[in-house]
A and B are shown apart, each in its own frame.
Chain A
Amino acid sequence: MTPSLGLTLHRGTGGPGRHRPSAAFAKDPPTGTKQALRWLSIFGQIARYLKAILSAFFATGDPPTLQQEMNYPAANSPGPIRWSKVMVFAVLLFPSLGWGALTWENQKVELTARLGDKEAVGLFPFKNTGQAAVTITDIHTSCECTVAELPKRTYAAGETGVIRAVFTLGDRMGPQDRLVTVTTNDPTAPQTMLTLRVDIPDRLSYSSRMLHWSVGGSGEAKTVEISAIAGNRLTAIEVREIAPKQATARIDVIEAGRKYRLIIQPSRLDGPWTIAVTCVAKFEDGGQHSLLVYALVR
């Protein structure tokens, strides 16, 4: 049997589309409550309507012919409606007909930078798999450090293209996500988010790069713990420079090859000072890494 679509148009005293208040709300509920109930009612109607369409669509048994369907008013309709299926298909398929659509080979590119790399380049190839031309109206990157390059804006049906995202690494460390938002005139997918993830490996970790002493306070020594990140092994670490020379600094070994302690003690606390302590770490593979730790007297 065919369920009623349940979509009704209220034509009460309140005018088209407005609900007549039920007895339960004869005492004028607050305006907010009225609004909420009105919206709930509308959503309920839509839900019932969709459910009815789905029920008709999935129902089994012999459906009536169009002629039979025309002869019966909807409320007395005896069974599932073949024409409902056709309509549902039409409604579902309509948006994808006659429009262009970009299909992306990859929406996420992951790269690992090597030491010394200045930039990382991610390629995002795509193809217009729709029936009409697609124009890329805007490309927005999440950071000024990333530039998205595109040779042209409009792509005919079947045409391919590629967006080249160039990420300037600068002094960045660790995993970095850069987002590229591509906006097109395709109404079925107006925006696509592309992600360029670049892992910039670091070789050292530390507890802090800034130590603070108060002006005129006690000048006790403070420490920074320095460790080699997994996969790296140190052969040596040393204090290379202290500038200006208003502090002493030394390295203690906690675990040879892996963990060290930098101990800094300012020699003057009579004014604001910014003391830069440069440490140089040497790795088993011959690589070197400089680490600047700042001792601040404020």
Chain B
Amino acid sequence: MSHRPRSLPRDCAFFLLLAFVPAGLTGWLHPKKPAWSWTKPAVEQVELADVTRWSAPVLWVDAREESAYAIAHVPGAVLLNETGWERLLPGFLQAWRPGQRIVVYCNSERCNASDEVARRLKRELNPGDVFVLKGGWSAWQQNQR
């Protein structure tokens, strides 16, 4: 009995392609296929460590709900969320100065309010550099411990 020499890349490719068949059929035909959600990360994320190293002035924007902001927030942060956008916008504009870098945060890595507020700021006001804090308020709190 003769054995053909086996090739690892060929084996891997074989199984990879094999997996595409049921995956493709499921995605195409399954009546209850999972929702496909893709949100474009239009706003750049920054680590807290990077923000602390910036020499440019920073305007912190708290995108959480008012109750969470009232309990605690980043010192100097202005409250701006989409629930009360029109009411809160004057407060943001009062604090804004040209040349500031704006860093928006929400609760944690799992929230998307900061992304949405940052995108809306860019779209409606285009106030300069807008970033989203990676890890949000949780990251800030951890850094303070």
Contact = CB atoms under 8 A, between A and B. Distances in A.
A177 interface: yes
B125 A171 contact: no
A54 to B, nearest CB: 8
A11 interface: no
A295 to B, nearest CB: 10
B84 A170 contact: yes
Given A193-B35, A208-B126, A210-B126, A171 B85 contact: yes
A50 B16 CA distance: 12
A170 B35 contact: no
A208 B125 CA distance: 5
Interface stretch (B50-58, B71-79, B108-116): B108-116
Contacts of B39: 177
Contact of A195 (B1, B37, B68): B37
Contact of A51 (B1, B14, B86, B98): B14
A209 B125 contact: yes
A163 interface: no
B35 A1 contact: no
B84 A171 contact: yes
A142 interface: yes
A165 interface: no
Contacts of A88: none
A170 B110 contact: no
A296 B64 CA distance: 26
B126 A298 contact: no
Interface string A260-298: 000000000000001010000000000000001010101
B28 interface: no
Q: Is the interface of A mostly helix, strand, loop or mixed?
A: mixed
A214 interface: yes
Nearest to B119: A174
Instruction: Report the interface size class on chain B.
Output: 35 or more
Given A107-B32, A171-B83, A209 B124 contact: yes
Interface in A148-192: 168, 170-172, 177, 179, 192
Interface string A1-27: 100101000000000000000000000
Nearest to B64: A144
On chain A, which size bracket covers the interface?
35 or more
A212 B98 contact: yes
B11 A143 contact: no
A167 B124 CA distance: 23
A256 interface: no
Interface in B14-68: 14-15, 18, 32, 34-35, 37, 39, 64-65, 68
Interface of A: 1, 4, 6, 40, 43-44, 47-48, 50-51, 54, 103-108, 140, 142-145, 168, 170-172, 177, 179, 192-195, 206, 208-210, 212, 214, 274, 276, 292, 294, 296, 298
Given A107-B32, A140-B110, A206-B124, 20 more contacts: A47-B11, A51-B14, A103-B32, A106-B32, A142-B111, A144-B64, A144-B65, A145-B65, A145-B113, A170-B82, A170-B84, A171-B85, A172-B83, A172-B85, A179-B37, A179-B112, A194-B35, A208-B126, A210-B93, A214-B98
14 contacts: A6-B6, A47-B11, A47-B12, A47-B14, A54-B18, A106-B32, A144-B64, A144-B65, A170-B83, A177-B37, A179-B37, A193-B35, A214-B98, A294-B89
